[in-house]
Amino acid sequence: MPEHTIAENLTRLQNAKTAIGNAITAKGGTVGANDGLEDFASDIATIPSGGGGTDFDITINCKPSTTQQRRRVFQEKSWSGLTNFYGDRIWTDGTDIYYSDSSNQYVLDKSTSTWTTKSWSGKASFYGSKIWTDGDVIYLSNSIEQYVLNKSTSTWTAKTWSGFNDLAGNKIWTDGTDIYYSSNSNQYILNKSTSTWTTKTWSGLTNFDGSKIWTDGTDIYYSDSSNQYVLDKSTSTWTTKTWSGLTNFDGSYIWTDGDVIYLSNSNYQYMLIPDTNKFITSYVCSLVSGLSYAYGNHVWSDGKDIYLSNNTTSLVLKTEEFKNLNLLPSCKPIFTQT
């Protein structure tokens, strides 16, 4: 059996589950909307004598993979210089990693996992959650305080915008092409060349917060409680998005390990099955362990590893490899017409 990524294995497992469920239904049985593989024995028992539709027998052939299997595991992480901090206040200038929490300003030595005090000029006290970039320049936007960073001198200087100047950095977002500011009824698009914000008109959804926008790498979504939307970039139109497994959540708690998308909100931990609209609880497939309580906005990366930093909790996400691990067995339903 060839080696597959976690995303590929999840898709294959989901396809097999769907095929089995369809077969039971076609036979006249009943499959619950949230039934898993472990429920199929009971579901098969609901098939009436003689069944319905085309007659066939079902054989489920499952065997552990003999190739390397992987899972992601959160392990304890030790830092020097700074031990209690929050991941949503960490930011990067593209070279170095910084932690900014009011007057607490640090820079990370990645090779030694050591945080040392960082001195800035022009602006010494600010929050990393208000930092953003247009892809070229680093800005600090906190309501009436607007600054731009000179990386070579570590100097913040006042920044003047045209059109709109009352920005909050955590509400600025991008669709991969343009940069927008979304704060309730204040909706703007940035002209980088002139530093001008002009009014942006959306269809379908006109009043929303940019901090709750996220992407799966292909589409742009807005998730705020039961308000779930997907963006058609070509027409600037938001349309209702329907998820299964989880319908009420906040986009600010979404994060990714580069392969799979997760939702972490307190003790609610979910993962999005790739190429589907279905969220499942992450422990179902045990692909990520060592994590039971977390917030997605506290997850961050130094460009190599992924960390969770929530005050006194410091974890690092590692990959473990196993042989003959019955984690994601190769399950293939075989249908024989009778």
CA distance 13 to 7: 10
**CATH of residue 270:** 2.130.10.10
Residue 309 within a domain: yes
Least confident stretch, 35-44, 216-225, 289-298: 35-44
Give the chain's radius of gyration (CA, Å).
24
Confidence of residue 43 (pLDDT cuts 50, 70, 90): low
Domain that holds residue 332: 6-68+327-337
Residue 81 within a domain: yes
Residue 1 within a domain: no
Percentage of residues in the chain having pLDDT higher than 70: 75
Q: Count the domains in the chain.
A: 2
Which tokens hold the place of 136?
A: 């070229």
Same domain, 201 and 316: yes
Q: Which residue has the higher pLDDT, 260 or 35?
A: 260
pLDDT at 27: 67
pLDDT at 334: 43
Residue 36 has pLDDT above 90, yes or no: no
Same domain, 63 and 86: no
Contact 294, 259 (CB under 8 A): no
Residue 286 within a domain: yes
Residue 15 within a domain: yes
Beta bridge partners, 209, equal 183
Q: How far is CA 254 from CA 36, 73, 97, 246, in A?
A: 24, 18, 21, 13
Same domain, 39 and 148: no
Residue 86 has pLDDT above 90, yes or no: yes
Same domain, 89 and 120: yes
Same domain, 60 and 209: no
Contact 292, 79 (CB under 8 A): no
Q: What average pLDDT score do residues 171-190 get?
A: 97
Same domain, 95 and 24: no
CA distance 137 to 152: 12
